[in-house]
Amino acid sequence: MEHVLTQMKQAAQAPMDYAAQWKARTGRQVIGLLPMHFPGELAHAAGCLPVILQDDEEPITIGQSNVFNFYCGFNRSIVDQTMRGRFDGLDAIMFGDHCVQLLGTADTIRAERPDLPILFNQLCTTLDAGWALRETTGTFTQLWKELEALTGAEIAPQAVTASIALFNRNRAQMRRLYDMRRKGLVAISGRDMQAVVKSSMAMDKKEHVALMDELLAAIPRRGPAAGGVPVYLSGHLCHAPKPALIDMIEESGARVVNDDLFVGWRFIHADMDEAMPPVDAMAHWYVEKNRRLPCPTRTTKGVDWEDYLLAEVERSGAQGLVVLMVKFCEPHMYFYPEIKEAFEEHGIPHLLIETEHEEMPVEALKTRVETFVEIAKRRATSKAA
């Protein structure tokens, strides 16, 4: 199993290096995707490698001249990487999400790399609006056309359906792993789980599916060591929290049992309907998203992130919630008070950790996490008594 994880970790850590090798090997185009909701299936069907752009480990240096320091670390890192030439291997970027900071970043990329096509098709954010389905269908139809123009070849509907099926399979594999972790059937660290999902955002789908088959077969059916307090991780809407942070949480006596992180359950939680015409399948997948897992950047009446979290924390047997909030992330800042109040009302311990792109004082945070773990443990014991 280790060699599988090693391959995944390599792709997760340096997705652009992976993409460059893929491109050299296949001679096909690589398309960068900005988070969080834009599907990669169409690009895959067009014969391209869709790669979700990630932050990297480097501190922000030359990017500082092009992005303010009050923007989230993800945006700052993307701008910095653009200026360092990290994305030079891309043949296009596509996105359509509605975070105001991302819109600015896309403009900066366009200014820095004027030759790099950016296929921008803004997704409707009010998912229960009367026009949401029609508009979303239009958005994906437009994207289809633009991808055909980019690659110079028609995209056959059957090819898109096949891509949808492959992506569904990959998501289902990862969900299975999540399921086994939640039920305590396997012991997989938060760091490794992140590598699994993050690599799926970069790797060739078929390759990732094969690795997942191997991983699912080989992972020892052995539960985690006793004693860890089960916790649920929430937040980080566009990129992965630093693995060292997750290590620290687990070293402080907690055991991650589930999450709604973008590089996590949020990315894999839902499939597209293979029986539908492909654009309809994508549109339904998108507009119904919030009902399955609410996102603070879109709205559906009657659907609340805090209710989802309360239910999921209970379903996963977690004894506490750790909220990982990216500093300067507006959607999260708006909705955090709702979560906080709901958890306080229900007497479920929660802890807010604000994360930054630059080095975080992980050691200083450790004391807070340890205290939180103690509280969660005590609360669970007194509840059981």
Give the number of residues in contact with another protein, rule: CB under 8 A. 45
* Phi, psi torsion values for 318, nearest 5 degrees: -75, 150
From the list 12, 45, 99, 270, which residue makes contact with ligand SF4 (rule: CB under 6 A)?
Answer: 99
Spatial distance between the Cα atoms of 372 and 323, rounded to a whole number of angstroms = 12
CA distance 361 to 191: 18
104 binds another protein (CB under 8 A): yes
Neighbours of 286 (CB within 10 A): 25
**For residues 267-296, which are near another protein according to CB under 8 A?**
296
With CB under 8 A as the contact rule, the residue among 22, 38, 71, 343 that binds another protein is 71
Is 101 among the residues that bind ligand SF4 (CB under 6 A)?
yes
Write down the H helix ranges in the chain.
2-13, 15-26, 41-45, 73-83, 100-112, 132-151, 157-182, 190-200, 205-218, 243-251, 265-268, 278-287, 289-292, 305-315, 330-345, 362-384
Residue 65 binds another protein, judged by CB under 8 A: yes
Q: Which is nearer to another protein, 271 or 288 (CB)?
A: 288
SS3 273: coil
- Pick one of ligand SF4, another protein, none as the site partner of residue 253 (Cβ within 5 to 8 A by kind): none
| Choices 54-62, 230-238, 271-279, 330-338 (CB under 8 A): range interacting with another protein | 330-338
Q: Which of residues 53-92 bind ligand SF4 (CB under 6 A)?
A: 72, 74-75
151 binds another protein (CB under 8 A): no
Among residues 326, 239, 317, the alpha carbon closest in space to that of 35 is found at 239
Question: Does 334 engage in binding with another protein (CB under 8 A)?
Answer: yes
Q: State yes or no: residue 258 binds another protein (CB under 8 A).
A: no
Segment 122-181, which members bind ligand SF4 (CB under 6 A)? none
Angle at CA of residue 194, ends 188 and 195, nearest 5°: 95
Question: Which is nearest to 264 in space by CA: 171, 350, 335?
Answer: 171
If the CB atoms of residues 178 and 328 are measured against ligand SF4, the closer one turns out to be 328
Q: What is the 3-state secondary structure (H, E, C) of 212-251?
A: HHHHHHHCCCCCCCCCCEEEEEEECCCCCCCHHHHHHHHH
3-state secondary structure of 353: strand
Residue 81 is a binding residue for another protein (CB under 8 A): no
Per CB under 8 A, 379 contacts another protein: no
* Contact partner at residue 23 from ligand SF4, another protein, none, CB < 5 to 8 Å by partner kind: none
Instruction: Based on the shown chain and the rule CB under 8 A, indicate whether residue 188 belongs to the binding site for another protein.
Output: no
Tokens of 125: 């954010």
Report how far residue 71's alpha carbon sits from residue 105's, in angstroms, rounded to the nearest whole number: 10
Binding ligand SF4 (rule: CB under 6 A), the pick from 119, 229, 237, 309 is 237
326 binds ligand SF4 (CB under 6 A): yes
Strand 92-95 relative to strand 229-235: parallel, antiparallel, unpaired? unpaired
Q: Does 324 bind ligand SF4 (CB under 6 A)?
A: no
Residue 160, SS3? helix
Contact 361, 340 (CB under 8 A): no
- Say how many residues touch ligand SF4, by CB under 6 A: 13
To which residue do tokens 């839902």 refer?
270
- Residues numbered 270 to 309 that lie near ligand SF4 (CB under 6 A) are 297
Cβ of residue 58: shortest distance to another protein, in angstroms? 20
Strand partners, 95: 120
CB of 99 to ligand SF4, least distance (A): 3
Binding site for another protein (CB under 8 A): 65-68, 70-71, 98-101, 103-104, 106-108, 110-111, 117-120, 122, 124-126, 129-131, 135, 296-297, 299, 301, 327-328, 330-331, 333-338, 340-341
Binding site for ligand SF4 (CB under 6 A): 72, 74-75, 99, 101-102, 237-238, 297, 326, 329-331
